Structure 1
Amino acid sequence: MHKALKMATKSCVPHKFRTENSDEEVNQEVPSNASNYLGATSIQKQPTFRNSRQAPDPTWKSPRNSAVLSTPLPTLDASKEYNWQAGMTNIREKNAVMLQNPLMADVHFTVGCGKNKQHIPAHRYVLATGSSVFYAMFYGGLADQNDEVCLPDVEPIAFHNLLKYLYCDEIQLSADNVIPTLYVAKKYIVPHLARACVQFLETSLSARNACMLLCQGRLFEEQELMQQCWEVIDAQAEESLASDGFVDIDFSTMESVLLRETLNAKEVSVFNAVCKWAEAECRRRDMEPSMENKRSVLGEAFYLIRIPSMSLDDFANGPAQSGMLTAQETTNIFLYFTANNKPELPFKRKGRSGLMPFKCHRFQSSAYRSNQWRYRGRCDSIQFAVDRRVFIAGFGFYGSSNGAMQYQVKVELKKEGTLLGQAITSFFSDGSSNTFPVLFDNPIQIEPDVFYTASAVLDGPELSYFGQEGMSEMQCGKVTFQFQCSSDSTNGTGVQGGQIPEIIFYC
């Protein structure tokens, strides 16, 4: 594949490649350093949900045939072994012997370019039965009988993966090869392999790589992958915009992020991310990252930043001193914040709406009694699992049953003992049986079918409301929650009653 497709490159940039047996140049925006952002998937013990869709098993074997070759079949010189077929029990084993074997090969591919170039033998019949593109190439009305095909735009590892699937019905993906494999699966219209690549990317999705995968989803026109990327970017906008992946996206994807109404981020964070992107884009174009050049690469997209929606402090300590604004722009924005007669500004003024959180309330009633609920530094804890990816914003708590009071609280979210998020803060209780939110600094992504532990240590008036008639499973919007008792709970909270009545989340 073109050198820009190699995983070591740092940006998504357009390039040109030549099609098979043709001098026609085709513009193609190619993937970037995906392996820097994709994490390994793991198999977790899954809770059982009633009436809910189970998440796909992320083992990345071929869903069409769960049995894969556990060890590679031995190579052989079939030209000297006239009865090599006798020891094979099925067609898949026989095809595996022919994989990249010159015996009976009637087409040869030169894949990649430069030092990465490889020569690979193949068999027209096998390729044509697995791909309509290969069928048209070899047996269609305009079929070319040339047995040499040059593919400079395809990574050798991706072509190996394609052949392994076509010959052996086997799919082996990793962070290093999934995007070039998706490219070649799309190029030769092998939808099942393409779908497996997309599923791999979806299970690897996080705030760290969501912007980069959005870029690839747009490139390959994968609507479902794009939707899941937007869910992560919206809910974890602060982290997504601050990630290394954001600076590597193309201009069109960056502009689509700026147009997004539902980003859960401060506008000053959007401004800072765009400045970093502009600096990186200047370097990609071999330009000095001056203010003029950064404004030049951003063009009119710069005005999509909603600077007038910032607080005065955020503007004064950020954009006003960044060097990205002209002196006149800075003056006009200060006047917009402070003057009665406000100047016209080219920036969008209305703040982003963000996402509305959901609240899963796990108790059917609440109560208080003279001898409950006491804290004294003890831990209230509950375990929960969901049937789809969500983002935990925080938890709701009951407050004092003896009038308005202030509570100090430390909340934690853990997965199998590993701390994912923590907040140490306070909340004010007005003496009612309402719940009071305590939020993390940034929402925390949790995966389906895995139990997580929510814990809290409260310090304040000992007597408070507490939940009763708790439910072990409940539906909240499109999400099914399942609850179970936690061994970390030392203050009496469990499934049936206690504290932590609400899970606050985005989805």
Structure 2
Amino acid sequence: MDANNITKWRDDKDLPECMMYMLQNEIMCDVTFRVGHDRTLINAHKFMLSSRSAVFHTMFEGSLSEKGEITIPDIDDNTFRDILKYFYSDDITITNNNVKEMLYAADKYMLAAVKRKCETVLKQTAQSEHATKALQTGYQYHLLELQKESLDYIEMHTKACLLSEHAVTLSKDCLELILKSDFLDCSETDICQFILKWGKHQCELAKLEPSGGNMREAIGNILYLIRFPNVEMKFFSKAVANSCILTSDEMVSIYQSHFGETSKAFPRSLRVPVSKRQIYSLNRYGQITGPMGSSGIQSLTFHSDKEIWLKGVNIFPPFNQYAPRIRGDRLHCYDPGTVSISIKVLNDSKEETFQQQKNINLSRHGGQVQQIDFCKPVRVTSIRDYTIVLDGMTHQHFYGTDCQESVTDQQSGVTIMFKNAPADKNGTNINSGQFAGLLFSV
């Protein structure tokens, strides 16, 4: 090392920069790793690793502490260097290209913050045709939010997800999570067709003949989550009966169910997709008054006593009573203009679970309530705070007063509690302001 660098590398450097310099130049390193398939040599400091990971602390200081070089064959050297960079500097970069490897390493070394960052990246794939893959990853690494978002997407796009290349690689446990849902947006025939495909794939993996007996053993008890009485009889007779995955008594009971007999083995209740469920409207205001001219962000926190699907919000729209008229040869038209608003829904971790831009027409007179339908439903977990945020209200609008802090919808039996949102500084609270009500399904 250059003599000048021995002293100058500390000058004007913060702690992470100094620590990274020591790592990269192997200054006072006291542990050596052989990493990856090629057993790449990487040196580090026991103190730093133990300070960030309980696994490394046990590795160095436990009753069976490691001596000499430590071999880590299951993590590639690039990923291990990225993890070391996080240990020494708190800096980490996670992308779709490295998230799988980073998640494995974070789980192995109990790095909760890195797992959360990985989950944030993976959530992008949860809302796509790769949702089944995201569900499997979420289940494997106990990422509950990723599981939930993946299931939400699968429920709303079931047929497309089951046709994806990743679907047949689902574990039995993940497949069970899907089949337990009452919200799947496909026919029971589609589900049955996929199960046969999945069962054959499991037999191929086990190098077994795809016989009825082998497929049934692979499928196991999740077979009883399939609602065979709702499967098209033509498909059932041609594909299911010939597959021999059902016993003779089970097949007879399903045929009898089409003539009014109840099948004791298989449920017949219909799955009702979220998009087709009844929508309830719950209003919180007593009167409408105004106008008010706040143009900043307005927000309100709420929670529900039951799990619901939030499908929209009623707002007090902006108006422009001074808008000019367009003059034609014979027709004078009032043109109030439009305004672009943004609506977001945040969970109790302040993570954005929904965002939508919408152009709405300005009216000439205030005092109305306008329904804003969401482009996709938002699953709201019971007894958990969510905050709805409205931005872009650049014109005057009326607002609700005599608002109720707790409102129960008599039809659905759902009770929603409202709370003040700390971020709101523009007049919306539990007593008055924006957000006339919510639209939801159960």
TM range (shorter): 0.5 to 0.7
Correspondent of 2:243 among 309, 315, 324? 324
* Residue in 2 that maps onto 1:388: 345
Distance 2:58 2:226 in 1: 48
Correspondent of 1:259 among 180, 185, 192? 180
Counterpart contact for 2:32–2:69, Cα < 8 Å: yes
Aligned length: 329
- Change in Cα spacing, 1:256 to 1:174, as seen in structure 2 (3 Å) is same
Correspondent of 2:388 among 470, 473, 480? 480
Give SS of 2:354's match: coil
- Change in Cα spacing, 1:275 to 1:78, as seen in structure 2 (3 Å) is farther
* Residue in 1 that maps onto 2:368: 469
Read off the aligned partner of 2:269 and give its amino acid letter. Answer: K
Distance 2:263 2:315 in 1: 51
* Residue in 1 that maps onto 2:312: 360
Identity percentage of aligned residues: 23
Distance 1:238 1:383 in 2: 34
Distance 2:237 2:367 in 1: 50
Post-superposition shift, 1:251?
1.4
Distance 1:92 1:142 in 2: 31
Matches within 5 A, 1:56-205: 77=1, 81-83=5-7, 85-86=9-10, 89-113=13-37, 117-138=39-60, 140-142=61-63, 144=65, 146-205=67-126
Structure 1 residue 222 corresponds to structure 2 residue 140: no
Post-superposition shift, 1:120?
1.7
Query: Under a length normalisation based on structure 1, what TM-score does the superposition of the two structures give?
Result: 0.55
Superposed CA deviations along residues 308-352 of structure 1, whole A, max 9, x for unmatched, are 134xxx332466435434594555533321x35x37453222233
Give SS of 1:133's match: helix
* Residue in 2 that maps onto 1:35: none
Counterpart contact for 1:209–1:240, Cα < 8 Å: yes
* Residue in 1 that maps onto 2:155: 234
* Residue in 2 that maps onto 1:348: 267
Post-superposition shift, 1:163?
0.7
Superposed CA deviations along residues 429-485 of structure 1, whole A, max 9, x for unmatched, are xxxxxxxxxxxxxxxxx973452679xxxxxxxxxxxx9835598999857375879
Give SS of 2:92's match: coil
Post-superposition shift, 1:165?
0.5
Post-superposition shift, 1:170?
0.7
Distance 2:217 2:45 in 1: 51
Read off the aligned partner of 1:469 and give its amino acid letter. Answer: Q
Matches within 5 A, 1:363-374: none
Post-superposition shift, 1:504?
8.1
Post-superposition shift, 1:298?
0.9
Counterpart contact for 2:23–2:29, Cα < 8 Å: no
Counterpart contact for 1:158–1:180, Cα < 8 Å: yes
Distance 2:256 2:315 in 1: 51
CA RMSD of aligned residues (A): 4.2
Post-superposition shift, 1:385?
4.1
Distance 2:239 2:21 in 1: 66
- Change in Cα spacing, 1:143 to 1:384, as seen in structure 2 (3 Å) is same
Read off the aligned partner of 2:160 and give its amino acid letter. Answer: E
- Change in Cα spacing, 1:270 to 1:383, as seen in structure 2 (3 Å) is farther
Superposed CA deviations along residues 64-100 of structure 1, whole A, max 9, x for unmatched, are xxxxxxxxxxxxx579953352455222222222335
- Where is the helix percentage greater, Structure 1 or Structure 2? 2
Matches within 5 A, 1:284-303: 284-303=205-224
Superposed CA deviations along residues 78-132 of structure 1, whole A, max 9, x for unmatched, are 799533524552222222223354342211112233x5x4332111122122222
5+ residue gaps, structure 2: 280-309, 318-337, 361-365, 381-385, 399-436
Distance 1:287 1:389 in 2: 48
Read off the aligned partner of 1:303 and give its amino acid letter. Answer: Y
Give SS of 1:388's match: strand
